[in-house]
Chain A
Amino acid sequence: MEFFVAQILTGLANASSLFLVACGLSLIFGVTRIVNFAHGSLYMLGAYIGYSLMQVLPGGVGFWGSIILAGVAVGIIGVLIEMLVLRPVYRAPELFQLVATFGVILVIQDLTLIIWGPEDLLGPRAPGLRGVFRIMGEPIPKYDIVLLVITPFVALGLWYLITQTRLGVLVRAATQDREMVGALGVNQVWLFTGVFALGSALAGLGGALQLPKGGADLLMDFNILAPVFVVVVIGGMGSLPGAYLAAIIISVLNVFGVTYLPQSTLVLMFIVMIVVLMIRPYGLFGREEVAGEHGQVGEPEDPIKPASSRARLIIALGIAALAFLPLYGSSFSQVLATDVMIFCLFAASLHFLLGLGGLVSFGHAAYYGGGAYVAALLVTHLNSSMEIAFMLAPIGAGLAALAIGWVCLRLTGVYFAMLTLAFAQLLWSLVFQWGDVTGGDDGLVNIWPSDWLNETTVYFYFTMLFAIGGILVLRHIAHSPFGYALRAARDSKRQAETMGIDTHKVQLLAFGFAGLMGGLAGALFVFSKGSVFPNELEIARSFDALIVVFLGGVKTLAGGVVGAGFFKGIEETLTRFEYWRLVMGLLIIGVVILAPNGIVGSLRKFVRRLRGVSEGEGA
């Protein structure tokens, strides 16, 4: 019993930061409709800035002052991000705003590395709170008790702000219909900025508050994202009490998990989430998202046309040029081309889901990395032949996608997106934590192809066959009746259903198929490199694919492929520099602001303008 109480108290203390970060995220989303992926980065900055301040400011006042100042500083950084990066793209499609926030993540990662260096920082203890309290005989760190006491007051303060002040009323009104709020004479621009500042400050506070417990490191930004998304999904987007309750549930559960089932902590979190969503699809206190109800819908999409004969010729020439690469290219160029083709297939599989299906998956790496791991596990543990493993990998990834899709498709919009990311992170943590089977951080090595393929040029052709074949199959499906049904379900679910299309089934099949193709890319990858590590499953990999699809252009079929080529090319060039993330991040932000239709979309627009015609050709 005593132990039980102690566990609960620890869980409540851990809930503190999680709650602050989650309600910041949900506040920002509510008003601006932007899922701020950089929220984890703001949390990380809060920790680093708090750490530095604590080095300078002495004593208890210094400690607590540092935490508050860190919150204020991160709030100001949030304002800068909002003004410089997001303001120019508020009118762009929602997904572009997300890509802009990915860019911010990369920039903040490198800036943090430049300023604070690569070492993990051990958080200072709170002065006067070093020891433990004995509660029913069990030792509880004093700092935990303080956190546990403070959090309800912070929550209460926020609740007061949101429910009892005019600002709060405006925020809630804007959450529902921001255009109407503007028409009533409220300047949304400053409302947005204010909310962004508040949400960022909360993330910064969360980061600084957890310093004595967790310190500061460069992985904090991504590590907090999955639990925060889970909290927001469980609690219900935009609900303060929901976020609080969900943070407590997750944190308490986590503490018990660590004690009883140390390898299952993250899995447990997802099981709870799935149970909650089965019963309440929009979270404990959430309500259905009706984004797009008022003035949110962008321009209607141009229909996708089959490639013109000229486009077909260009594609055929491109493939031919690629096929003869071994005649004129070096061995290194073949390896590079292999990488690019694999990445193109990966991106094309996401594009299929996202562009045609309108299903924004934030966790597509689950199927890419998943496919790679299926193959690697088969080879490592069952001594399976390469051919069998290569065949089973996409099937395994496809089945995983079907299962995950079945859960995620119960939700729509941002909930769907967050859930897909959370599942990808679940897979990542399974692989990461289950070292006995998956090798954990050390990965799985010696996964080479069979002898007949174990040569750069042969593998290059092997990849070409499957990657280009896969992309052509995806294209073909886009123009098939199934592709029409998928697009119909994207554009108007209800109308599609009245025409007799089982939209759920169509979308689930699309999800499974995209997973299968992602898995194929993963299988090609693992045998080309001979090894696989958990980073093939991590959030950053999912983001790579998303960025590529957006860079290329969501609305164009060629987008995924062009974006992938561009991205790999840039990555290859940039990774030679130490701070390539910074450059990449700035580049992404630049593209988002300057070319909101992506590369293919913008080129097409440019060509149209040159020709002076209003209708372009499909690609």
Chain B
Amino acid sequence: MLEVERINSFYGKAHVLRDLSLSVPKSNVVALLGRNGAGKTTTLKSIMQLVRPTTGSITFQGRSIAGSQPHKVAKLGLGYVPEERRIFTDLTVAENLLVGKQPPREGAVTWSEDMLFDLFPNLAERRNNRGKALSGGEQQMLTIARTLMGNPSFVLLDEPSEGVAPVIVEQMARVIQQLKSEGLTVLLSEQNLHFAQAVADLVVIIESGVQVYNGTLAELNSHPEIRDAYLAA
């Protein structure tokens, strides 16, 4: 569904991604693993065109999206959930959802505010609270809910388990499993291997912007030496 081929991305003069390739099949959850600074966030941003890769190709559902505008990428059905949450803190929960709202899309679930409140019951009672009044976990849920309002067929999830309570991490894992069962495709960046274990089908590991492992979760589990070499304990 998504093919990334040999992209190179820079921050200023820093070469962050080096000939990175990866592929995400439809209705799979792919976990992008790697240490802090390995280039996970940059990979997701490059797909979203928030960072422009200088070379390489990115195709989504057979269409090239490299060089496109982020809003056009989003319109194709790619949803982006940023790492730092980036909710609109001065807007209420309902208003945050309204910003993400997009017309229904064929082949994807059409989300409504109520459906999202069923998925994230904590948000329902916070409907009219401003973003800045929410807890970290609630903010993380709101970021995901806001992206789902765009009825994406594919979601880029940047470290959803980072900095939230274990109880929320578990809830997040359940949500991702549910989304997957509804046919959503997910590319998830993670440092938390346990979280990835709970949701992922396939695993890609990167180190210094280079792909060092690509395979199923089961294979990775049978090669602990890879895990030890490239992932934090």
Contact = CB atoms under 8 A, between A and B. Distances in A.
Partners in one complex: yes
Contacts of A173: 88, 91, 95-96, 99
Among B48, B95, B102, B146, chain A packs the most CB atoms within 10 A around the CB of: B95
Nearest to A186: B71
B99 A183 contact: no
A241 B35 CA distance: 47
Nearest to A180: B86
Among A166, A183, A185, chain B packs the most CB atoms within 10 A around the CB of: A185
Interface in A243-262: none
Nearest to B143: A180
A33 to B, nearest CB: 16
A184 B74 contact: yes
Contacts of B86: 177, 180, 294
A305 B18 CA distance: 31
Given A169-B98, A173-B99, A179-B70, A184 B147 contact: yes
Nearest to B97: A169
A172 B88 contact: yes
B12 A299 contact: yes
A300 B14 CA distance: 11
Given A180-B86, A184-B147, A300-B12, A169 B99 contact: yes
Contacts, number: 64
A389 B98 CA distance: 64
A176 B150 contact: no
Nearest to B146: A184
B70 A176 contact: no
Interface in A176-200: 176-177, 179-188
A502 to B, nearest CB: 29
Given A170-B99, A173-B99, A188-B71, A183 B50 contact: yes
B74 A295 contact: no
A187 B100 CA distance: 12
Nearest to B51: A295
A185 B102 contact: yes
A182 B69 contact: yes
A525 B133 CA distance: 57
Interface residues of A, number: 21
B80 to A, nearest CB: 5
Contacts of A170: 99
Interface string B81-98: 010001011110001101
Counting chain B residues whose Cβ lies within 8 A of the other chain, the interface size class is 20 to 34
Nearest to B100: A184
Nearest to B85: A180
Nearest to B152: A185
B71 A180 contact: no
Contact of B70 (A177, A182, A300): A182
Among A170, A182, A295, chain B packs the most CB atoms within 10 A around the CB of: A182
B90 A185 contact: no
Interface string A159-179: 000000010011011001101
Given A170-B99, A295-B50, A182 B90 contact: no
Interface in B88-125: 88-91, 95-96, 98-102
Among A176, A180, A294, chain B packs the most CB atoms within 10 A around the CB of: A180
Among A169, A172, A183, chain B packs the most CB atoms within 10 A around the CB of: A183
A149 B150 CA distance: 42
A161 to B, nearest CB: 14
Nearest to A295: B50
Given A172-B88, A187-B71, A181 B99 contact: yes
B91 A185 contact: no
A338 B34 CA distance: 63
Contact of B71 (A169, A176, A182, A299): A182
Contacts of A188: 71
B224 to A, nearest CB: 37
A172 B71 contact: no
A176 B74 contact: no
A377 B13 CA distance: 53
A144 to B, nearest CB: 36
A515 B223 CA distance: 67
Nearest to A175: B90
22 contacts: A166-B98, A169-B91, A172-B88, A172-B90, A172-B95, A173-B96, A176-B90, A179-B70, A181-B99, A182-B74, A183-B48, A183-B70, A183-B71, A183-B80, A183-B82, A184-B71, A184-B74, A184-B99, A185-B102, A185-B150, A187-B69, A300-B12
Interface of A: 166, 169-170, 172-173, 176-177, 179-188, 294-295, 299-300
Given A176-B91, A295-B50, 16 more contacts: A166-B101, A169-B98, A173-B99, A180-B86, A180-B88, A181-B99, A183-B48, A183-B70, A183-B74, A183-B80, A184-B99, A184-B150, A185-B74, A186-B71, A186-B99, A299-B12
Question: What 10 A-B pairs come out closest when comparing CB atoms?
Answer: A185-B74, A182-B70, A173-B88, A173-B99, A183-B80, A182-B71, A180-B86, A187-B71, A183-B70, A184-B100
